[in-house]
Amino acid sequence: MEEPRIGVFVCHCGRNIGAYVDVPGVVEYVKGLPNVVHAERNLYTCSEEGISAIKKGIQEHNLNRVIVASCTPRTHEPLFRSACEAVGLNKYLFEFVNIRDQCSWVHMHEPEKATEKAKDLIRMGVAKARLLEPLEEIEIKVTPSALVIGGGVVGMGAALNLAAQGFEVHVVEKEPELGGTLRSVYKLYPTNEEATKVTNPLIEKVKNDPKIKTYLSAKVKEVSGFIGNFDVVVNQDGEESKFNVGTIIVAIGADKLKPTGQYGYGEMPNVLTQLELEERMKKGEPVGQNVVMINCVGARVPERTYCSRICCMTAIKNASLIKESNPKAKVWILHRDLMTYGVDFENYYRKAMELGVRFIRYSLERPPQVIGDGKAEEIKAYHELRREEIELPCDMLVLTTPLIPAEDNQDISKMLKVSLDEFGFFLEAHLKLRPVEFAMDGIYICGSAKWPTDVTEGISQAYAAASKAAGPLRMGYVKPEAINALVNEDKCSGCGICELLCPFQAIELQPRDGKRVSHVNEAVCKGCGTCGAACPSGAIAMHYFTDEQILAQVEALFS
Amino acid sequence: MAEKETTVITEAEKILDRENIIAKAEEVLDQGYDGIIGLRKRWGHVSPYLFTTKDELKELELEPRYNLATFVRQLKNKWPDARLGIVSRGCDERALDKLEELGVFSKEGVVFIGITCSMEQAEECNCEKPIYTPLDCTGCWKCMEECPKDAITRINVCPILVPDQFNLGLGQRKAIYLPFPQAVPKKNVRDPNHCLRITEKLECKGCENACEAKAIVHDMADQIVDLDVGAIIVATGLDFYDVSGLEEYGYGKIKNVVTAMEYERLTSASGPTLGSLDRPSDGKVPHNIAFIQCVGSRDFRCEPYCSSVCCMHATKEAMMAYEHEPGTKSTVFYMDMRAVGKRFQEYIARAKSDYNVTYIRSRPGRIEVNPENDNPIIWYEDTTTGEIKKFEAEIVVLAQAMIPQITKDLAEILGIELDENGFVKTPGGFLQPLDTTKPGIFACGYVHSPRDIPDSVTQASGAAGRAAEEIASLHSQGGK
């Protein structure tokens, strides 16, 4: 191996690092480390200036290892790797040291210690970089079709977009018909169009599209494989279909909270949820002369802290519809903050006030009370602006409840090996930068399965997820990371522990020269290292994280 | 136009000066380089040639169209250690750059002797970049370094100082400047409204004299580029509502009343104060900050809509103040706290519990100044008690309304409609949320509707998906 020539680029990240870590001091220190032939600092190493500094550094100093000490590999590693590649340095000769999340952010109030820790971490990075070796990536073919789980309006939107781009799509819907939640919704804000007028043409289009195959009353039973080559088993009425897809979109929507035990729900016949009210209005059943609605029932409370985004507008819509069909009716909305963000919602809210819908603000400290024997007859509430207790006559009490994670979320997250967030909704790869992707390659998320969304937002997300899912399909191939497990067959005893433990089913035992040895499917292996840690004979090494490299880091830490 | 073209030729001729180029080539040979690669004319034929003696250089040819890149690459591959001079035009060097990007060529040991092509030659080649030098701005910013702020009296650098609009006028910049610290490409630009040379007020050569790369060409003109595309995406973003018309808040008159964007620049490491929150009146760092929400938003006199992102950015700004200066107290005056995104409610809760942020539901009526310390005093109604109260802060941050950034001209050129608030109009219908009123044109981000970053990024991918659909259908119809 040629003598390592390491270049270290330390980033100020504006004030993010520079204000807490003594960056010039760190650079001086780093210059004295073994094999470091160049060290410099940049205001933002990720800026164009920083990237050209890396390229220039590699060329001028003939660097064969590059270290950037900055923020997080999660967002910036690809960028710095590609800078190395651009000037002919294998990207696996790049090492990332995170001195923002691990130093300046967590030790904001102890800058000296933050600086010392930055030096330690870079010293460890240098120790590892000296032992890095170039790795090559394999190319995997992609099956040009997709699976959409969920046949609601969002899933159908995604499927149609993919089909229009020329790809085959399998749509799996657990109910006997397409349409999802919108099947029980009456009208849609902000245009008050009937939900069926939106869903019916969409369902027709999906059914008639030759590129889309729909499975109704069906569940995805099993998914194995990896981006480009997912093997899918669908169970439809006991019959199994198997097919192969390149990418997967999750669009399974959400459930509505049933507020049993709150405000008489489940005990009093005239206490409904908004969705039950809509079903009633859809059938043309009377709703009464005095209607009271209570918002945030089961939302923005200690046991469920989040705001479900769409409920304020749902309440205002239903209140407006009641007033429009019966101007003499009295409708009150008891609310907390009103989430009518944007242009259309704010207009809609104003129009509701003009229609005569009454808005009364309540606080969590003094929630409304239901008065009545057997049924809700009167609602007592503290009117915050008037600063007095008021009593509202009530023929019907409508509770506005949040969307909650669908029951299937757990199963699907396990099956696809994607994560859920702390609320139980699906967790996107990055809240801001990768909002419709999962951390797992080739799987995408849209609609209320990720976070409560209305129809227009959900459809926008559907197109976004379809756009992302179409990328690999159009490309025709993917190149997974070369960071994966490597088996030394001579050492392997064929015990099979690795096969058992691998969370990605990437390992299988194969016969070799009369014995069974562990074999790693590079395309499936995610480089998690579980097998390497577990192997009793030390036969499994991780590319880019070899024992030698990690021990060198540990030694560097305590040297 | 005709006049400008003549000057380009004059400029070009100057650099084309044979004597100059040969002199440079000789200099390179003197420095011990192995040779000069150029074109040689012999017996009426022109071909690439490696000049190794000064004598041969009289046969150097500068005009005909031969790209030297292949020849250079072959030579370098054969003799990787050779040190060579290359008489190169813009196209030669761009080609070599590309080869280098592909990893089949290295610029090491190579020195470029740049030449600019004549207008005739450029026309023959249908070349857009006949001038060698502008491509050569290395971003060394020597022109800026030579240009300190007090340089107004110096004649060899840019004498102009104007308010820096990227920092919202909080700092100053030259008439030759970097638009903002992370600009891509990171190259200086000249301000056509203030540059003495461009505005023809003075034959100023300040920056030209300082620039080592000779990258400043005074006679460049705008180019019109024709693009043939199957779909268009409008993503022109947002602008800010001018809140100086809202006299009750005294913006523009009361020094320590700033907009949220100004506050962002003041707290930014690349801002005019390098990240120190120096309040405008006396440069002191405030520890008692008030935020007023919905300034120009949800207001019939201004913009009736909700700008959608201000609740969250005010909260973030308050938290940032605390991170910069622990102990800082922030008070947010709001109407509705619209925290509807993932983890937003929890973010607000954290601001209250860990960052000393208090939220008061009220729309303040007026701001006065405490003449003793320049502190703004906010008059507001406490809606929980009905009392009129006042609140003194060291600085007040106004969450100014945000407006779509698209001109009527651009909308007209595109043939798309805007709504009464100036946002791009959608054709209606739930299934075309990112379409405009013209097929094939899509919109996303704030110009489409008030959106935060996650929603805008989602819309961006969505609009790209719709555009891909459009292009796929063009393909299946067999062309455009």
Report which of residues B299 and B219 the model is more confident about. Answer: B299
Q: A180: domain CATH number?
A: 3.50.50.60
Is residue B220 predicted with pLDDT exceeding 80?
no
Q: What confidence tens digit (pLDDT) does each residue in A510-535 have?
A: 998 888 999 998 888 888 899 999 99
Give chain B's mean pLDDT: 84
Do both B246 and B343 map to the same domain?
Answer: yes
Question: Nearest CA to CA, how far is B187 from chain A (Å)?
Answer: 10
Which of B384, B403, B422 is where one domain is finished? B403
- Facing residue for A18 by CB, picked from B269, B459, B464: B269
Do both B253 and B346 map to the same domain?
Answer: yes
Is residue B11 predicted with pLDDT exceeding 50?
no
Q: How far is residue A199's CA from residue B219's CA, in Å, rounded to a whole number?
A: 59
| Chain A positions in Cβ-Cβ contact with residue B472 (cut-off 8 Å) | 164-166
Do both A267 and A393 map to the same domain?
Answer: yes
A552 in a domain, yes or no?
Answer: no
A549 in a domain, yes or no?
Answer: no
Do both A107 and A161 map to the same domain?
Answer: no
Q: What confidence tens digit (pLDDT) does each residue in A434-473 have?
A: 999 998 889 999 999 999 999 999 999 999 999 999 999 9
Question: Nearest CA to CA, how far is A45 from chain B (Å)?
Answer: 10
Do both A368 and A422 map to the same domain?
Answer: no
A184 in a domain, yes or no?
Answer: yes
Do both B375 and B276 map to the same domain?
Answer: yes
Q: Supply the pLDDT for residue B125.
A: 62
- Facing residue for A432 by CB, picked from B106, B337, B454: B454
Which of B403, B429, B461 is where one domain is finished? B403
Q: Supply the pLDDT for residue B81.
A: 85
Do both A380 and A265 map to the same domain?
Answer: yes
Question: Nearest CA to CA, how far is B465 from chain A (Å)?
Answer: 4
- CA dist list (Å): A419 to A39, A285, A423, A439, B448: 39, 42, 11, 8, 31
Please state whether the peptide bond connecting residue A210 to the residue before it is cis, i.e. omega within 30 degrees of 0.
no
Cβ under 8 Å to B: A residues 308-367: 309, 337-347, 350
B224 in a domain, yes or no?
Answer: no
Identify residue B380 by its one-letter amino acid code: Y
Q: How far is residue A49's CA from residue B183's CA, in Å, rounded to a whole number?
A: 9
Q: What is the mean pLDDT of residues B175-197?
A: 82
Give chain A's end-to-end CA distance (angstroms, integer).
24
| Chain A positions in Cβ-Cβ contact with residue B362 (cut-off 8 Å) | none
Do both B76 and B184 map to the same domain?
Answer: no
B269 in a domain, yes or no?
Answer: yes
Nearest one of A53, A68, A64, A61 to A88, comparing CA atoms: A64
Contact A343 B421 (CB under 8 A): yes
Q: Supply the pLDDT for residue B152.
A: 26
Q: Supply the pLDDT for residue B370.
A: 96
A95 in a domain, yes or no?
Answer: yes
Q: A56: domain CATH number?
A: 3.40.50
Q: Tokens 């030259």 map to which residue?
A: B174
Q: CB of A411 within 8 Å of any CB in chain B?
A: no
- Please, which pLDDT band fits residue B242 given cuts at 50, 70 and 90? very high
Which of A135, A170, A200 is where one domain is finished? A135
Nearest one of A44, A46, A33, A116 to A81, comparing CA atoms: A46
Do both B80 and B121 map to the same domain?
Answer: yes
- Please, which pLDDT band fits residue B17 given cuts at 50, 70 and 90? low
- CA dist list (Å): A95 to A7, A40, A58, A60, A99: 10, 15, 14, 19, 13
CA angle A85, A88, A91 (to 5 degrees): 35
Give the burial class of B457: count Cβ atoms within 10 A of its Cβ; 0-12 exposed, 13-18 middle, 19 or more buried: buried
Q: Which domain holds residue A457?
A: 141-253+406-478
Q: CB of A178 within 8 Å of any CB in chain B?
A: no
| Strand extents, DSSP E, B326-411 | 329-334, 357-361, 366-370, 375-382, 387-392, 395-400, 402-404
Q: What confidence tens digit (pLDDT) does each residue in B421-472 have?
A: 999 999 988 999 999 999 999 999 999 999 999 999 999 999 999 999 999 9
Which of A75, A100, A135 is where one domain is finished? A135
Do both A41 and A121 map to the same domain?
Answer: yes
Which of A402, A432, A464 is where one domain is finished? A402
Report which of residues B53 and B400 the model is more confident about. Answer: B400
Output the six-digit token pair for A288. Answer: 């009464």
B217 in a domain, yes or no?
Answer: no
Question: Which residue ranges of chain A lie beneath pLDDT 50?
Answer: none
Residues β-bridged to residue A294: A334, A399
A423: DSSP letter: T
Do both A423 and A337 map to the same domain?
Answer: no
- Facing residue for A384 by CB, picked from B107, B383, B460: B383
Question: Nearest CA to CA, how far is A435 from chain B (Å)?
Answer: 6
Contact A307 B339 (CB under 8 A): yes
Do both A278 and A398 map to the same domain?
Answer: yes
Is residue B3 predicted with pLDDT exceeding 70?
no
Q: B409: domain CATH number?
A: 3.50.50.60
Q: What confidence tens digit (pLDDT) does each residue in B248-305 have?
A: 999 999 999 999 999 999 998 778 887 889 999 999 999 999 999 999 999 999 999 9
Q: How far is residue B436's CA from residue B410's CA, in Å, rounded to a whole number?
A: 14
Q: How far is residue A253's CA from residue B157's CA, in Å, rounded to a whole number?
A: 62
Instruction: Give the number of domains in chain A.
Output: 4
Do both B409 and B380 map to the same domain?
Answer: no
B267 in a domain, yes or no?
Answer: yes
Report which of residues A552 and B48 the model is more confident about. Answer: A552
Is residue B12 predicted with pLDDT exceeding 70?
no
Do both A146 and A112 map to the same domain?
Answer: no
Do both A261 and A398 map to the same domain?
Answer: yes
Which of B136, B154, B174 is where one domain is finished? B136
B100 in a domain, yes or no?
Answer: yes
Is residue B115 predicted with pLDDT exceeding 80?
no
Do both A367 and A435 map to the same domain?
Answer: no
| Chain B positions in Cβ-Cβ contact with residue A436 (cut-off 8 Å) | 458, 461
Nearest one of B83, B63, B82 to B21, comparing CA atoms: B63
Do both B276 and B397 map to the same domain?
Answer: yes
B227 in a domain, yes or no?
Answer: no
Do both A267 and A358 map to the same domain?
Answer: yes
Q: Which domain holds residue B174?
A: 142-210
B83: DSSP letter: -
Q: What confidence tens digit (pLDDT) does each residue in B25-35 have?
A: 888 898 888 89
Percent of chain B's residues with pLDDT above 70: 85
Do both B93 and B38 map to the same domain?
Answer: yes
Contact A387 B386 (CB under 8 A): yes
B92 in a domain, yes or no?
Answer: yes
Q: CB of A464 within 8 Å of any CB in chain B?
A: yes
Q: CB of A293 within 8 Å of any CB in chain B?
A: no
Do both A13 and A127 map to the same domain?
Answer: yes
ipTM score here?
0.85
B449: DSSP letter: S
Report the residue of A107, A162, A337 to disrupt the B interface, i.e. the one with the largest count of B CBs within 10 Å.
Answer: A337
Q: Tokens 């577990």 map to which residue?
A: A534
Q: A498: domain CATH number?
A: 3.30.70.20
Report which of residues B153 and A434 the model is more confident about. Answer: A434
Residue pair B399/B333 in contact (Cβ under 8 Å)? The answer is no
Do both B423 and B452 map to the same domain?
Answer: yes
- Facing residue for A460 by CB, picked from B384, B433, B469: B433
A551 in a domain, yes or no?
Answer: no
Q: What confidence tens digit (pLDDT) does each residue in B350-401 have?
A: 999 999 999 999 999 999 999 999 999 999 998 888 899 999 999 999 999 9
Contact A342 B428 (CB under 8 A): no
Q: What confidence tens digit (pLDDT) does each residue in B169-184 have?
A: 888 788 888 888 777 7
Q: How far is residue B57's CA from residue B39's CA, in Å, rounded to a whole number?
A: 10
Instruction: Give the number of domains in chain B.
Output: 4
Q: Phi/psi zone of residue A372: left (φ > 0), alpha (ψ -120 to 50 degrees), beta?
A: left
| Half-sphere exposure for A119 (CA within 13 Å, toward CB) | 19
Q: Which of A152-161, B37-46, B312-321, B452-461 has the lowest mean pLDDT?
A: B37-46
